[in-house]
Structures are given as structure tokens and as C-alpha cells.
Chain A
Amino acid sequence: MLKRNLIATAVLAGLTGATAAQDAYNVGLTGALTGPAAGTYAPAVDGLRIYIDKVNAAGGVNGKKINLILLDDSAQPARAAANATRLVTDDKVVLLLNASLSSTYAPVVGESQKANVPLIFASSVCPKDVYPPANALQFCTTAFAANYDSRAVLDFVKATAKAPVKLGLAAMAIPISRGEIDYAEELAKTLGMTPVSKQIIPPPTPDYTPFATLIKEADANWTYSWAPWVTQVRTLEGLRRLGWTGDYIAWSHLEAENELARLKDGKFYVVGANALFQDDLPIHKEIAAAAKAANSQYPVNQMTEGWIAGMVIEAALKAAGWPANAEKVTASLSNLKVDLKGLRGGELQWTKDNHFRTRQYYRVYRWDEAKGAIVRVRDWAAFDVK
């Protein structure tokens, strides 16, 4: 139902986009709203839509509405290219957003560069171009960050492990996941850990047990996975079915909160840059209330990424003033500070050279069997992004 709502919104927005352009900030998004990858992106996009609706309902930004145009690319590069072209040429957006697989980046980036329109990656992987020295037009609000995530994970493992760490590693056979696990393998060695098994698991795999068997037989006492959720959690389940009792640590994707509660595994840690809803912050209540009012059918605890993107867009447009153009928006994005109200460990700050964030914060959670709830194991740990 929600998927249909999103598509209907996308179509409606598409039809009305150009006419609404005259008296509103036009912001366009190409994202994987349908297709196999939609599970990762559609909840965030819905969170963004709800946030922008809320802003508009409160009078908009600088007295003007934000006209958010959502176009579905189903994670297909050709469709993303067509969407980006349309958003830039027909809808004349002042800001582009991408919420899709990295295979869609090249055409969208190309269109952004050609038209000089800033591009924010929201809920999709942050490309290298947003880290210092950043490309002038590319920005990223997404929580996870290659290399920094593994630094945070291994820092936690080192601080927590009671015995010498024999580390199992699991990645999905996609470049970003493999690259991160390769990085973690090398980093682990410098931290005095012993990587004993590294499994690169092809998607889709009908049975994860053979991979898990190799990690178990290598006698790992910790296993770290940085991959799409399916690989992370199915490797863990494979290990547990084999009777492996070690500690398992993985990236806190959108699904983490629900999955921690499903698995109820006290030795399964998730590391993330977003506060989980179990923290019950006022902002969480606000998101939950807005999602309920909007009748969203996505789990509210999967909307944080979209909400953060919405906060950033609001702040950037506010700073850009009215009337805004792509140049003004780029300038405001390049010198931006956004108070995320606890959704992350600190404010999101972009500078001329750093379009990722100047500091990245991590929290660690796990399931507590005694309390029957998710608990925070480690509070925000900060890492400077240079």
C-alpha cells in the first residue's frame, strides 16, 4: 500500500512539479522506490517525504513551500539518468537527491555536474567525492562511512574483548563491502588482533552455513560483518545454528532495531551512527507521531535517514534564502551546521572541503536478555573526519 502511495506521490509530484516550480523550492529525488533494492531506500524516502510535508504544513521555508519531486529508478542506471535529466531540465530543481544503489551514481552525478546543481546522497552510500577534499557539488547525509565504520567497530572490539581476538570477517561480494572488510582485516592486524577467516559471500546464497562453517572452524571468537543486512544477519544465524558462541558485530542498518528484538542474541552487537528508537528521544516521538499522522506503513524506526536528510534540506534552503537557485543552495550546503536533535552524536557540519561531516559518531547496541530489551553498550564515540 505504501509503495503505491509513494509511486502515486511520485507521479503526482512529477505531473505538478513544473507548474509548482514558480513559487516553491523545487527539490528532486531519484531513488529505488520499487524493485529488489527498495527495502533499503523506500523507508528513508518516506521519512523524507513526511518531514518535508511537515515543513510545508508549518508554512514552508522562508515562507515558500518545498516541492519535493520523487522519481522511481528501481535502482536502474538508465532510469536514474532519465530521472536526473528530467529533474534538472524540466523541473529545474535547485537540489538533487539520490537514494539508490551506487550503480545509479554516475549518470546522476554527470547530470548534476553538467547543470551545476548540488547533489545530496541521502540513505545511499557516501561516495569518495564527499570526503575531504570534497567535490564542490556532492554531499552526503547517510550514516555509514567506509573505513570510519571499521575503525569504530574494531576500537569497540579491542576495548570489549576479554581474550586475544581471533577475528572472523564476512562481506558480501560487492565492491564496497569487500573493500571495507579488506580494510578491516589490515586494521585488525595493526590493533593486535588475528584475522582467522574472511568470507566473501556472493549474493544471493541459498544457504549461509558453508561460509559460517569456515568461520567457526577457524576458531574465531569475534566475527565482524560490514555488508547489506541480509549477509550480516544470515551469517550470524548460520554461525549460531552451528553452535558458535562467539561475539558478532555488524553495521546497524535500517533493519537493526527490529532484528535485534527478533534474534534476542546477547552477543550480537550493532554499531551505528544513528540513535535507535529504543533511546526514546523527543525527536523519535516526533518522527513516530508524524509517521502515524501520515499513515506510513514503513516501520518508523527505519525513517531516521530520511528525517535527517529532510532537516539538512530545510536548513540549506533556509540559508539560501528566496528566491533560491542551485548556486545559492550549493553555497549554503558548503557551510552548513544542522542540529540533529540527538539522532546522531552531534551536529552535522559541512565545510567547503568536507561534504561528509567533520565528526562521525558511533553508538553500540545489543539485546539484553535480562532486561528483555535493546540496550546501549557504548555511548557516542567520536572520530574526526579529515
Chain B
Amino acid sequence: MQLAINIAVLAAIYALIACGYVLIYRVSRVLNLAHGELMMLSAYLLLTTASLFSKNPLIALTAAVFLSLCVGVLVYLFLMRRMTGEMVLAAVLTTVALGVLLRGLVVLIWSAQQQNPAQALGWANYSIPVFGAGRISAAGAALIAVTTLIYAGLFLFLRFSRYGIRMRAAGQNPLLAAQRGISLHVIYALAWGLSTFTGAMAGILISLDSGLDSTMVLIGLKAFPAALVGGLDSLVGALLGALIIAAAEVLMIYYVDALLSDVVPFLVLILMLIVRPWGLFGTREELDRV
């Protein structure tokens, strides 16, 4: 039972992070390599809002998530927008530079010391029994719940809402979408905002579960294989990819060697790239663009 819970929590972490990669790639074909840094920034923003609203943790949480969403939109408006029409590689390299900048800023502003947002909010991370045989932390349970809600919400949004349909249209054929009157800049800004929002939820919940330091960036990187294994343009793929990567990692810890758990996501990724380079749910057409 505990094995299943451990896989579920890790899969939720990876899925929540991976969907941020997918959202931006699906809409704009840009691989956001600053996603881990944006996720970390959100967790640090929570630290600040927690000190500002120490008596109202929910307000602090809401403010941090809202600020993160704004950061995503602003990154697009002031940085990525200028990359429109340029080579995709230029845009990707811009995200690399953004990541380096954010890493430096985080250490300068909040220091490299260990932080505990849960303590700042006055929250305890309780242990919850599950079916008597296993246990899950409150933050771990929240991770699973939030991941489920976000994926369900994104599914409904992309399928049925006006802007969701426009996002899909812009992703499929930006030229045609623009000719039909869809404002690509609005759609791209929305994608960046949503992507940063989902990354923020991941960063915040991870930091509530196990604290915060600047190595969180690397967790963002570890989730990247999940997005690629599932197919970079598929949210369902990201979900399944996260589950596969998490299961491989935890099973490796349990039954083979914990040290290999660090490399197993990338082994799975290499295997997938050999067998099916466009991922489980990705489309072959996208491969050229990658």
C-alpha cells in the first residue's frame, strides 16, 4: 500500500510540473527550460506572502499563486513576445537565460538557506492513515488532489471554453488562427500564465511538504522526462509519462538500488526516444518541430 502511495505522490509532483512544459509547447512550440526556476520562484513568493499575511495563510497562498500567474504573463509580455517570429531555438535559449537570471535573483533576495513555508504559514504537515496500511502527508494528499483538479480543469478548459479552443487552434495552426481573428499574443500570454500557475502549485506544494531551497530547480528538470515520454504536446501523455517515470523511480529505490533512481527517468526517456521518439501520446508531426 505504501508503495502505491509513494508512486502516486511522486507521479502527482511530476505530472503537475510536466503539464507546465506541455501547455507552452503545445501552444507556442517553445520548450520552456526556465519552468523549474519559475516553479521555485513561486515557492519563494509564498515565503514572502506568508510573512506579509502571517495571520491569513489562505490569503498568503492565494496571493502567491496569483503573483506567479502574473509573473508568467509578464515573462511572455516583456520577454518571450519579442521572440515571436524568431527561430524556436532562440526562444528556447531565451528561457535558458531567464532561468539563470531567476536562479541568481532567488539567492540574492531570499538567500540559499533552507526555508520552510509551512512553518511561515503556521501549518503542520500531518500524517494521514490510508486504508490502515499506509500513510500520506497532508501536503502529499494535497498534491494528488490538486493535480487531479488541475488536469480535469485543463481538460474542460481546452475542450469547452472559448479561450481553450482558441489555444488549441493557435497550437495547431497559428497562421490560420491569426487570420481567423485570434490574438496570438493573448493566447500565448494565457499559456504562459497557466503554465506558471501549474508550476507554482507544484512548487508551493512541494515546499509545503519538504521545505524549500534553490535545488528545487533540479526537481523541475527531473519532471522533464515525464513530459517527453508522454509526448510534449499531450496533457494525457504528461499524466501517463509522470506515472511511468514515478513508478520506475520508486520501484528502483525499492527493489534495485536507490542510486539508480536518479538516472532511471532519463533511462526511460532514452528508451522512449529510441522506440517512439514522439512520445506515447505525441504526434509524429511534432517531432520535426522538436
Contact = CB atoms under 8 A, between A and B. Distances in A.
Interface of A: 2-4, 34-40, 42-43, 173, 199-204, 206-211, 213-214, 217, 229-230, 233-234, 237-238, 240-243, 255, 259, 262
A80 to B, nearest CB: 17
Contacts of A209: 5-6, 9, 137, 140
Nearest to B3: A213
A237 B107 contact: no
A225 B228 CA distance: 35
Interface in B119-178: 119, 125, 127, 129, 135-137, 140
B71 interface: no
Interface residues of B, number: 43
Interface stretch (B44-52, B81-89, B109-117, B279-287): B109-117
B140 A35 contact: no
A301 B262 CA distance: 34
Quick one: which of A2, A42, A210, A262 has the most chain B CB within 10 A?
A210
A204 B10 CA distance: 13
B213 A36 contact: yes
Interface in B187-210: 206, 209-210
A38 B209 CA distance: 23
Nearest to B114: A255
A2 B111 contact: yes
Given A213-B6, A242-B127, A206 B213 contact: no
B218 A210 contact: no
Contact of A34 (B3, B108, B140, B219): B108
A203 B262 CA distance: 8
B80 to A, nearest CB: 26
Nearest to B138: A241
9 contacts: A36-B214, A37-B112, A38-B107, A39-B112, A207-B6, A207-B9, A229-B114, A230-B213, A241-B127
Interface in B226-275: 249-250, 253-254, 258-259, 261-262
Contacts of A37: 112
Given A204-B218, A214-B253, 11 more contacts: A42-B111, A201-B258, A204-B219, A210-B10, A210-B261, A229-B114, A230-B114, A230-B213, A237-B125, A242-B2, A259-B114
B203 to A, nearest CB: 11
B222 interface: yes
A173 B253 CA distance: 13
A36 B107 contact: yes
A238 B211 CA distance: 12
A207 B210 contact: yes
A230 B206 CA distance: 14
Nearest to A2: B111
A95 B147 CA distance: 54
Contacts of B136: 241
B40 to A, nearest CB: 11
Given A39-B213, A234-B211, A242-B127, A34 B6 contact: no
B215 interface: yes
Interface string B1-13: 0110110011001
B199 to A, nearest CB: 13
A203 B107 contact: no
Given A207-B210, A262-B119, A241 B107 contact: no
A210 B253 contact: yes
A358 to B, nearest CB: 33
Given A38-B112, A241-B137, A203 B215 contact: yes
A200 B258 contact: yes
Given A39-B113, A230-B211, A234-B210, A202 B107 contact: no
Contacts of B262: 173, 202
A34 B104 contact: yes
A243 B114 CA distance: 24
Contacts of A204: 215-216, 218-219, 222
Nearest to B10: A207
Query: Closest 6 A-B residue pairs measured CB to CB?
Result: A202-B262, A39-B112, A38-B112, A39-B113, A204-B215, A241-B127
A39 to B, nearest CB: 4
Nearest to A4: B108
A334 to B, nearest CB: 34
A233 B209 CA distance: 12
Contacts of A38: 107, 111-112
A214 B127 CA distance: 17
Given A34-B104, A209-B6, A262 B113 contact: no
A243 B135 contact: yes
B107 A211 contact: no
Contact of B135 (A43, A241, A259): A241
A4 B214 CA distance: 17
A369 to B, nearest CB: 15
B254 A210 contact: yes
Contacts of A207: 6, 9-10, 13, 140, 209-210
A233 B119 CA distance: 14
Nearest to A203: B215
Given A36-B215, A207-B13, A242-B135, A202 B258 contact: yes
Given A34-B104, A39-B213, A3 B111 contact: yes
B114 A39 contact: yes
Contacts of A213: 2-3, 6, 254
Contacts of A243: 127, 129, 135
A213 B112 CA distance: 29
A3 B10 CA distance: 34
